[in-house]
A and B are shown apart, each in its own frame.
Chain A
Amino acid sequence: MRTVENGVRELSVGAASVRGMSDAIVVEGLVKRFGATTALDGVDLTVAEGSVLGLLGPNGAGKTTVVRVLTTLLQADAGRVEVVGLDVARDADRVRAAIGLTGQYAAVDEYLTGFENLEMVGRLYHLPKAEARRRAGELLERFDLSDAAGRPAKTYSGGMRRRLDIAASLINRPRVLFLDEPTTGLDPRSRLAMWEFIAELADGGTTILLTTQYLEEADRLADRMVVIDRGRVIARGTGDDLKAQVGGQRLEFTLARAVDLGEVARRLAPLAVEDPHSDEQSRRLSLPVRGGTEVLAEALRLLEGSGVEVLDVGLRRPDLDDVFLTLTGRAAEEVATDEPTPEPIPTGAAR
């Protein structure tokens, strides 16, 4: 780990910082202001062709603003912003032809049927009529919407609308897909189904930039993550990098008798990388360690013949919630619900 400018912790230094022709998205020093508010304050990020980037942050962090600039909906105030090698401001139309966007709210016309929605979007991508209709049929099939293809989208469930929305953004076979909080507001089953669709797209080679407040979602779908808070990048790396940053892994023991805590700590001292933490009341011992599962085996070997009765033992790695708490001093959920400053909005706009 090393610290680079503006306090951003650059984690996996090797492959991650190599920037080259294979980046589908390049953002350098992106600044976006809304009046007196600075929504984005020098964001840098790259997304390699064919990979999935998870853009994480609480509400109001600036995630949607990043997506809006990248998809040509907003103009940056400063910085270099390129998608598939094209400048988003100068080459907006060519960028639009190469990307797909699924916003936070399923942007489907509820009076049109599923099929008509997709056909319309296909036509607006300037596909010939027959091709637009063929793609519409294909995508409805792929997103399990064939049965509902002839019904107005008004009658669709929330999950179906989201799927139709994603299908619409895929009509033109985009090289880069932007998904802004694709599972917000979905029930757990629809969320799982959505994750499978996204994973399939990623496997098919589509470059994806995904914003989410759900750490589990990013952990599951993204190759790399960028965490932003208040318009700045506060961390980046793979999920494992971010977890490692929070203090790595620890062995956790729950013992039958609290009196044995000292004995266990003494015997396992050679494995500990930092002082262990024990709690008499819960009869638990937490021991920071390094290494993989072999540490667990080694620990059990060291305890052989000690007569200590172990009720539960495990190698625990921090999850992204721990990461968020460490980075921002706030739990992700907490920030997400209590955030007092809403994301600013452009020109003369009321929410």
Chain B
Amino acid sequence: MTSLATTLSDSVVITKRNLIKVKRVPDLVVFATLSPIMFVLLFRYVFGGAIGGLPPGVSYAEFLLPGIFAQTIVLGSTTTGASIAEDLQKGLVDRFRSLPMAPAAVLVGRTVADAGLNIISIAVMALTGLVVGWRINSSVPEAVAGFLVLLLFAFAISWLMALVGLLVRTPEVVNNASFIVIFPLTFVANTFVPLETFPSVLRTFAEWNPVSAVVQAARNLFGNTSDQVPVPDAWSLQNPVLYTLIWVVVILAVFVPLSVRQFRRTASR
């Protein structure tokens, strides 16, 4: 069995490798940051005026930004699957598997590097948000905790996407397939609008949708809540941080072993 130290040092090597790609292909960073900016501006100014349900005096920018953060980084974590599929296609997975390295390291290195990319996009979004009127109304530790909850959840989704990438094996298909799942998941939630406007079945789904909890947790921690926008009574939204962390733990507990197992028996073609 590979020791923890080996797994860590191998993971560092792979993380470095993945981050070098980010440095060499600036388009990656440009698009990872451009689309969040676009989302912030679109929702703030195109839909912001039309989206109802918010009482007067409540800033849509403050309501919106935590939702945009969540949607963007969840979508961003699909990169993990596409990149792993690409490594498979190019024979790199065969190379790694023929080396005496820790088998988990390729996946750890991938998901950690993608978390790095997510940090970049969240920073860009936060700056754009400040420009369009979003504010953090809480303390520094609370704000940091808010960002951490977002990043942790995205990291867990990365591991789920890693398994998808290993199974699907074609980067384009990974992208399309995950979009079909992730897009509704991030829209049937409290991301962009309060849940009161939802029909009842959809509303129950949205209340228990982990994305809603992530968004609610971020709103609470950034102080972007208002007495005039009541939080639904569902336990998941009354305890959003705890509920999110439970999801993170469950996803990791299921998909880390599954992905590593799949990696050990996957050969390029």
- Name the residue of chain A whose CB is nearest to the CB of B24: A111
B265 touches A347 (CB 8 A): yes
A51 at the interface (CB under 8 A from B): no
Which of the segments B74-82, B92-100, B177-185 contacts the partner chain? B92-100
CB distance from A61 to the nearest CB of B (A): 16
A345 touches B267 (CB 8 A): yes
B98 touches A71 (CB 8 A): yes
B169 touches A350 (CB 8 A): yes
A174 to B94 Cα, complex, angstroms: 17
- Mask of B214-242 contacts with A, CB within 8 angstroms, 1/0: 00000000000000000000000000000
B30 at the interface (CB under 8 A from A): no
Q: Given A346-B267, A351-B269, are A72 and B98 neighbors across the interface (CB < 8 Å)?
A: yes
CB distance from A192 to the nearest CB of B (A): 24
A111 to B265 Cα, complex, angstroms: 26
Contacts of B96 in A (CB 8 A): 124
Q: Which of B9, B91, B169 contacts A104 (CB 8 A)?
A: B91
B114 at the interface (CB under 8 A from A): no
Q: Which of B20, B97, B267 contacts A116 (CB 8 A)?
A: B20
Contacts of A152 in B (CB 8 A): 24
Q: Given A106-B91, A346-B267, A349-B266, are A126 and B100 neighbors across the interface (CB < 8 Å)?
A: yes
B170 at the interface (CB under 8 A from A): yes
A100 to B100 Cα, complex, angstroms: 11
Q: Bin the interface of chain A by size.
A: 35 or more
A215 at the interface (CB under 8 A from B): no
Q: Bin the interface of chain B by size.
A: 20 to 34
Q: Given A73-B98, A74-B267, A345-B269, are A107 and B25 neighbors across the interface (CB < 8 Å)?
A: no
- Mask of B8-34 contacts with A, CB within 8 angstroms, 1/0: 011001001100110011000000000
B24 touches A349 (CB 8 A): no
Within 8 A of B (CB), among A301-351: 345-351
B100 touches A125 (CB 8 A): yes
- Name the residue of chain B whose CB is nearest to the CB of A105: B91
A349 to B167 Cα, complex, angstroms: 7
Contacts of A123 in B (CB 8 A): 9-10, 13
CB distance from A33 to the nearest CB of B (A): 14
A223 to B28 Cα, complex, angstroms: 49
Q: Which of A72, A120, A349 contacts B269 (CB 8 A)?
A: A349
Within 8 A of B (CB), among A124-144: 124-126
Q: Given A93-B100, A123-B13, are A107 and B95 neighbors across the interface (CB < 8 Å)?
A: yes
Q: Interface SS of chain A: helix, strand, loop or mixed?
A: loop
For B2, B92, B100, the residue with the greatest tally of chain A CB atoms inside 10 Å of its CB is B100
Contacts of B95 in A (CB 8 A): 101, 103, 107, 121, 168
B169 touches A120 (CB 8 A): no
A345 to B89 Cα, complex, angstroms: 13
A68 at the interface (CB under 8 A from B): yes
A99 at the interface (CB under 8 A from B): yes
A202 at the interface (CB under 8 A from B): no
A116 to B96 Cα, complex, angstroms: 15
A105 to B88 Cα, complex, angstroms: 11
Contacts of A75 in B (CB 8 A): 265
B268 at the interface (CB under 8 A from A): yes
A105 to B21 Cα, complex, angstroms: 20
For A97, A108, A123, A347, the residue with the greatest tally of chain B CB atoms inside 10 Å of its CB is A123
B167 touches A124 (CB 8 A): no
A10 at the interface (CB under 8 A from B): no
CB distance from B171 to the nearest CB of A (A): 13
Q: Given A107-B94, A126-B6, A345-B267, are A96 and B99 neighbors across the interface (CB < 8 Å)?
A: yes
**Interface of B with A (CB < 8 Å)?**
2, 6, 9-10, 13, 16-17, 20-21, 24-25, 90-92, 94-101, 105, 167-170, 265-269
Q: What are 22 A-to-B residue pairs whose CB atoms are below 8 Å? A: A71-B98, A73-B94, A73-B98, A73-B267, A75-B265, A93-B2, A96-B98, A104-B91, A105-B91, A107-B90, A107-B91, A107-B92, A107-B94, A109-B17, A109-B21, A109-B92, A111-B24, A120-B17, A123-B10, A124-B105, A125-B100, A348-B167
Name 10 extra pairs, CB < 8 A, besides A124-B96, A124-B100, A152-B24: A72-B98, A94-B100, A104-B91, A105-B91, A107-B92, A112-B20, A112-B21, A120-B16, A121-B95, A349-B269
